Structure 1
Amino acid sequence: MRRRRHMLLVEDDELDATMVKEAITKAGLDVAVDCVSDGQQALAYLQDRAVQRPSLIILDLDLPRMDGLELLKTIRSSPDLAWIPVVILSGSEDPAMVEEGFKDGVAGYFLKPLDWERFMQSVKAILQYWQMNYLPGDRWEVADAGL
């Protein structure tokens, strides 16, 4: 049985979360988007063995309880999670933060407010690339997401 792809959106701003989910829907991606509002919730979600691993994590940096960079480092240090691509959303143009994100292996870094067309083109390309090269086939069958 084929399962839909999942994305995990880690965003504490409800309006931003709604806008990201709407952009994904408008882009025609066949993905379920699960949303959590802080870094600790995201980590609990990712460590839950009953939950399907996401094909992509969209991560805000300015989060309560555990900031985005700390969560990213935790994800990258876990063999079960390190393969999942992460895209950062941030209001900060601080070169040190951008550099830190890329040093920790993010697939993209996007400044808020988002250029929605560019953001969605990148999300589609990342999903397509990871599906072809990295998604572990023995964990689940990846459904065609209309790419």
Structure 2
Amino acid sequence: MNPTIYIIEDNDDNLFLYEWIFVRHLPDYSFHLFSDGLSVQHHVGRATQKPDLILLDLKMPNVSGFELLTHFKTDPSWKHIPVVIFSHSTSPREIEACYQAGASGFVHKEISVHGIKSQLQSICHQWLQQGRLSV
């Protein structure tokens, strides 16, 4: 069975890009795209199968990535799932707060399509295949 990734991102263009990258370049992974925190919270309550990894944007309206991270890490049935923050943020305070809240990693998103593709490939290879994140 292929590893499953939840990708939570409020930017539709980025979601389209991630879908394209996974379909074309990372076909060995299953993925679910979520465009906001509310839809994830609703889905989590009904999920029968949990993901192997969660990629989470930090800056989202309504329910922020930090709030979702906190929710995942305080829920006993979800806290073991690695959550990697995938964000444009470079704030040392935000990065530290995410690690304190239980994030498994923090990756500063590249701007280019090639850069994002390389980052996603590295995250999947290093985290899901080797069981660690060091990007």
Q: TM-score range by the shorter chain?
A: 0.7 to 0.9
Normalized per residue, which structure has more helix?
2
The residue number in structure 1 matching 2:123 is 122
Q: Tell me if the contact between 1:110 and 1:119 (Cα under 8 Å) persists in the aligned partners.
A: no
Give me the identity figure in percent: 26
- Alpha-carbon separation, structure 2, partners of 1:129 and 1:81: 21
- Alpha-carbon separation, structure 1, partners of 2:93 and 2:80: 24
Structure 2 letter corresponding to 1:120: Q
What is the Cα deviation at residue 29 of structure 1?
4.0
- Alpha-carbon separation, structure 2, partners of 1:12 and 1:81: 22
**What SS is found at the alignment partner of 2:63?**
coil
Structure 1 letter corresponding to 2:6: L
The residue number in structure 2 matching 1:11 is 9
Instruction: String of CA shifts for 1:44-69, please: whole Å, max 9, x gaps.
Output: 2122143x211111111111221000
What is the Cα deviation at residue 122 of structure 1?
2.2
Q: Tell me if the contact between 2:3 and 2:128 (Cα under 8 Å) persists in the aligned partners.
A: no
Alignment of 1:47-62 (within 5 A): 47-50=45-48, 52-62=49-59
Instruction: String of CA shifts for 1:20-74, please: whole Å, max 9, x gaps.
Output: 2222334334222111111121122122143x21111111111122100011011
Structure 2 letter corresponding to 1:10: I
Which structure would you say has the larger RCO, counting Cα contacts within 8 Å and 6 or more residues apart? 1
**What SS is found at the alignment partner of 2:42?**
helix
The residue number in structure 2 matching 1:100 is 97
**How many residues in Structure 1 have an aligned counterpart in Structure 2?**
128
The residue number in structure 2 matching 1:32 is 30
Gaps of 5+ in 1: 132-147
- Alpha-carbon separation, structure 1, partners of 2:88 and 2:53: 20
Q: Tell me if the contact between 2:70 and 2:102 (Cα under 8 Å) persists in the aligned partners.
A: no
Tell me the C-alpha RMSD between the 2 structures: 2.0
- Alpha-carbon separation, structure 1, partners of 2:47 and 2:126: 27
The residue number in structure 2 matching 1:135 is none
- Alpha-carbon separation, structure 2, partners of 1:17 and 1:112: 13
TM-score normalized by the length of structure 2: 0.82
1:64 aligns with 2:65: no
Structure 2 letter corresponding to 1:38: D
